[in-house]
């Protein structure tokens, strides 16, 4: 079955399941992304801070897939955010990717101690109005930071890309995002391999019932919850496994059991503490 699309608040659509390249070495990225595209992914998520935008662009061109059939996300680096060179950063990303436009451009981290994220958001609004990028959003923004940029500009991001998985579900943030029609996009959707999925009966029982793996159950939970999700792997068999989640559906009891796994504890950095 094909990957479904979600419609963002600006009217643009995005494949609900994407492929992330966080911590993929630049010299490996082209081959990995080519494999992902061959496996059926059409949504690629990178960032200037990953140092592999150029390799992502090479993979896109090598694939022969029409540009309009792909969705490409990249992000403003903390270095450029801090320097204030927001336009230069966007232009460099466009050059490294070697594509005519970016589908979704995000502020990677709010870096609240720098007190520059509102200015960065105002620049992204300019890029959107100039047609340089189709959609604009943020990553790792918490409620207070979202409130600040929305109240100051009247423009809400179309997505907030945040750490979210069964052990850290960010329910308060999700409630706020829903009131502003901001779509949730999840990074680390499987917990970045830092917890044993087989240790949780809510996952293993559902996996047995549907003849799937616990990882597939988690990704299906994200999809049914309405999240955009971007798992990452460098192995083709995992790519195939992660995209093979559209031929089953979790029932209400299974969804409830997974929701009950929330511990409220992050695995990644706290956005309030990332300031450089």
From the list 50, 90, 105, 200, the catalytic residue is 50
Contact present, 258 and 202 (Cβ < 8 Å): yes
Active site residue 50: yes
Give yes or no for a contact between 15 and 40, defined as CB atoms under 8 angstroms apart: no
Active site residues: 50
């Amino acid at each position: 079955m094909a990957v479904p699309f979600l419609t963002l608040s600006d009217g643009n659509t995005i494949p609900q399941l994407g492929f992330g390249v966080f911590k993929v070495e630049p010299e490996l990225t082209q081959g990995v992304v080519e494999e992902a595209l061959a496996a059926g992914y059409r949504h690629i998520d990178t960032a200037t801070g990953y140092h592999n935008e150029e390799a992502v662009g090479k993979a896109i061109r090598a694939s022969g897939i029409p540009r309009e059939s792909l969705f490409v996300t990249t992000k403003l680096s903390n270095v450029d955010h801090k320097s204030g060179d927001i336009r230069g950063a966007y232009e460099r990303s466009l050059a490294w990717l070697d594509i005519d436009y970016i589908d979704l451009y995000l502020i990677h981290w709010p870096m609240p101690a720098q007190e520059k994220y509102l200015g960065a958001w105002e620049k992204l609004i300019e890029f959107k109005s100039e047609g340089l990028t189709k959609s604009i959003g943020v990553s790792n923004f918490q409620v207070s930071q979202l409130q600040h940029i929305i109240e100051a500009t009247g423009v809400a991001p179309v997505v907030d890309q945040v750490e979210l998985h069964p052990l850290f579900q960010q329910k308060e943030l999700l409630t706020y995002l829903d009131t502003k029609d901001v779509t949730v996009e999840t990074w680390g959707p499987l917990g970045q391999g830092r917890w044993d999925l087989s240790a949780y009966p809510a996952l293993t029982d559902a996996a047995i019932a549907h003849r799937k793996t616990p990882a597939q159950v988690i990704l299906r939970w994200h999809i049914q919850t309405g999240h955009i999700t971007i798992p990452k792997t460098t192995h083709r068999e995992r790519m195939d496994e992660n995209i093979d989640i559209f031929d089953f559906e979790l029932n209400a009891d299974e969804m409830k059991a997974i929701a009950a796994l929330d511990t409220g504890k992050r695995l990644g950095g706290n956005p309030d503490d990332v300031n450089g």
